[in-house]
Amino acid sequence: FDQTGAGARLQLQCNRKIFGCENYFLTGASFDWAESYFSSGFYPAAMGANYNNILIPGFGFQAQFAVPGFNDFAGLYLTDTFSPTDWFHITGAMRYNYMQVQLGGYGVNPNGSIASTAALEDFQPITPAAGFTLQPLRAFGIVEPELRDLTFFFNYSESFRAPMPDELVGANPLNPVILPMAQIGDPSLSPVYAQTYESGFRGKLPQEINWNFAFYRTDLTNQLQFQQTGHSAAGFFANVADEQNQGVEVMLQGTHGKFSWFANWSFLEATFQNSLHLVNTIGPVSVQPGDRRGGLPEQMVKVGVSCQLTDRWQVSADFQYYSSSFLYGDYANIYPMVSGWEALNIQTYYNLTKWCQIYAFATNVMDLHYFNSGLISQNVFTGAPNGGTIEPFLNPGSPFGVWGGVRFQF
């Protein structure tokens, strides 16, 4: 896999009062270009007694596909923030997006024939955004030191994600592909659209403590979903799902002398919003509105503290907790979940000079054994000849580890 990319930005901004009120205007353009080339193949092999691969004499390497890809992504955008008073600010934004994905090359069909992977897709959505901030205490002339800078905010935005090249060439159910690469020419895919709402309060407390409390919701349409075909990792992409991600985020951070600290808590509810039929390695699954997405824990906690021991030496530690999550492929939420897990990490660095720094960090200091994700599938080595035993395949978390090094900055 080879990839090359480049880009450019041009931006203009203007601060000029309108009707005697503060106004900030910004406009610009961007262009990004990327070229990629990926290929894949295999050697025919047999499985040994210890489940090891044994190459078959007389059979050489067999190419499966070779796909060059070219991406062009251009955008024109503008944003304006108008402040009728010093406690009320209104913001509006708009962006025009143009994306072109071009593919070439060839792939091998399941029947052994050669097929072109050539494809050309254009996407031209316009994505708006708007919002406002309001400081209610200042609006009514209330001076409250305990809640200084209390701010209410509301934001709305739209965004999109165009299908990636490996999704575009892996969208044909008749020609399943192996992730993460893909092969044969396929039907078109639609971009994924997102509408996001965010609202909440933020402010400052005594002792230099910043806080933030926010609600958010993102509605996704045309979500791309990879569906397996048969008892393997092969499958295809399709625009099948509507999803909703909503939750709450709470943040506290502050400083006290040589210490700085932060504490974040978030709650996420990521669910399907339509009735549909998906396919995993076990077979078809009926999904109902409200079923949760796999691999996404509902709760996450991060707490950290740093101490500036000297002008040159800093030590910090952070603790992370993630609640249980459903397995990938368990679209109907019927199998046992992956248990929640936590980890403690420590970092330190020392500045020898203004351009040379020594650093070290340790992960999972308590050396806890946990699984951070998993998928539901069939173990083909058991339960034969009926296709294997249905069981979770779990991904172990990182064990205790220590790293160190030297950074040079010029």
What are the backbone dihedrals phi and psi of residue 168, each rounded to the nearest 5 degrees, phi first? -65, -40
Lowest mean pLDDT among 113-122, 192-201, 202-211: 113-122
Mean pLDDT of 156-161: 89
Reported as a single tens digit per residue, the pLDDT across 135-150 is 999 888 887 777 778 9
* Mean pLDDT (the chain, rounded): 85
Reported as a single tens digit per residue, the pLDDT across 64-85 is 778 888 889 999 999 999 999 9
> 305 with 177, same domain?
no
Q: How far is CA 248 from CA 212, 273, 320, in A?
A: 11, 19, 17
Reported as a single tens digit per residue, the pLDDT across 228-256 is 555 555 555 565 678 899 999 999 999 99
Reported as a single tens digit per residue, the pLDDT across 167-189 is 555 555 545 554 443 333 333 45
> 285 with 208, same domain?
no
Provide the β-strand partners of residue 404. 360
Between 405 and 48, whose confidence is greater? 405
> 11 with 71, same domain?
yes
Q: What is the CATH number of the domain that holds 92?
A: 2.40.170.20
Q: Say if residues 341 and 397 touch (Cβ distance below 8 Å).
A: yes
- Cα(275)–Cα(19) distance, rounded to whole angstroms? 52
- Cα(284)–Cα(202) distance, rounded to whole angstroms? 46
- Cα(267)–Cα(247) distance, rounded to whole angstroms? 5
> 202 with 291, same domain?
no
Q: Of the candidates 13, 105, 112, which has an alpha carbon nearest to the alpha carbon of residue 67?
A: 105
Task: Output the pTM of the full model.
Answer: 0.78
Q: Say if residues 82 and 59 touch (Cβ distance below 8 Å).
A: no
Q: Is residue 319 part of a domain?
A: yes
Task: Give pLDDT, residue 228.
Answer: 59
Task: Give pLDDT, residue 1.
Answer: 65
Is a pLDDT exceeding 60 seen at residue 103? yes
Q: Say if residues 29 and 10 touch (Cβ distance below 8 Å).
A: yes
Which positions ≥6 away from 257 have C-beta within 8 Å? none
> 319 with 407, same domain?
yes
Residue 286 structural domain:
274-410
Reported as a single tens digit per residue, the pLDDT across 360-379 is 999 999 999 999 999 888 88
Q: Say if residues 92 and 129 touch (Cβ distance below 8 Å).
A: yes
Half-sphere exposure of 377 (CA within 13 A, CB side): 17
Is a pLDDT exceeding 60 seen at residue 385? no
